[in-house]
Amino acid sequence: MNKIPVFFIDGFLDSGKTTFIIDTIKSDGFDGSTLILVCEEGEIEYDLKELKDKYHTDVEYFSGEGSFDYKVVGEMLNKYRPDRVVIEMNGMWELSSLQFPRELEILQVIYFIDASTFSTYFTNMRQKFVDIIKKSQVVVFTKCNDASKQIEPFKSALKMINSNAQYMIMNEDMKAFDAFEEPLPYDVTKEVITIEDRDFATFYIDTFDHKDRYNDKIVEYDGQVFFSKKLPKNTFILGRKIMNCCAQDIQLCGFLVKSCLGKKLKDRTYIHIKAKLVYEFSSDYNEEEVMLEPIEIKEIEPLKEEVLNLVG
């Protein structure tokens, strides 16, 4: 059975979903036919006749989450025989609860966020954002007049939620560019890269995105020691506990340290480490893994914050 590709365009009302869909239909030069399934109507309306006559695109509307039934969608597929399906999702619906005909295959989820209201919504509805961002390949911020003030404070939190997603800013002309091309809060050109506690999450994420910045470099930071019987002898994880969403969403982020340097460290104690950061292939994960070759280890007092809250 040939699968029909599905593109999910998700986000809250008036975040720019309809405008993006219309612009994409008109500008991408797609030769086949498109079926748009609209789950939420905003201020921008579809010109049904123009879309049908010029762009081989049909539009169907759903009045509520309960009306989005896989049998109904199947009947629409039989009626229009589209080559692709675009779903303008209602940001308040639960994506995981929807059922689809077997001939559909979700190819991409793009999540639109109104940057002007993001801070308030993310603070009060964080779990909702987390659930959607985890499923998204692309996250697009619209109405972003001052990126450094509006979304930069959330960079680490968003990257921790989904480090594989592409985070973009889209201007009024529908031109998109990288959302987080900002200077790092520490100097990677120094002989020893010093990571302050507040910058650990940024450092942790950036080591996966930019191997060239850190491979064979000397770094130093404070962290908590975690031992495990699953780890090789005389090794441990040094990292921090980080909270993105709520107490149930705390995760350990750290690196494997390849030696205790003869010190009798205890589990969950805190140390300051100076180490060479290297990338080595891990057969367990079938990919390169960041590891630390320690130069100096010094035990320290417990840090003020046991759990780093990326968004206060």
Domains and CATH numbers, the chain: 4-178 (3.40.50.300), 192-309 (2.40.50.140)
Residue type at position 114: D
Query: Rounded to an integer, what distance in angstroms lies between the CA atom of residue 212 and that of residue 218?
Result: 13
Which single residue is written with the structure tokens 């985070």?
Answer: 167
Give me 216's structure tokens. 């064979």
pLDDT for 256 equals: 95
pLDDT for 245 equals: 65
Query: Rounded to an integer, what distance in angstroms lies between the CA atom of residue 306 and that of residue 161?
Result: 20
Residues 15-31 pLDDT 10s: 889 999 999 999 887 78
Residues in the chain: 312
Whether the full predicted model's pTM is greater than 0.95, yes or no, is: no
pLDDT for 125 equals: 83
**Does residue 133 sit in helix, strand or coil?**
helix
Q: What's the longest Cα–Cα distance across the chain?
A: 76
> In order along the chain (312 residues), what is the average pLDDT of each group of 10 residues?
89 88 86 92 89 94 87 94 94 82 91 88 82 90 80 83 87 78 85 94 89 95 94 92 75 93 94 96 79 96 88 59
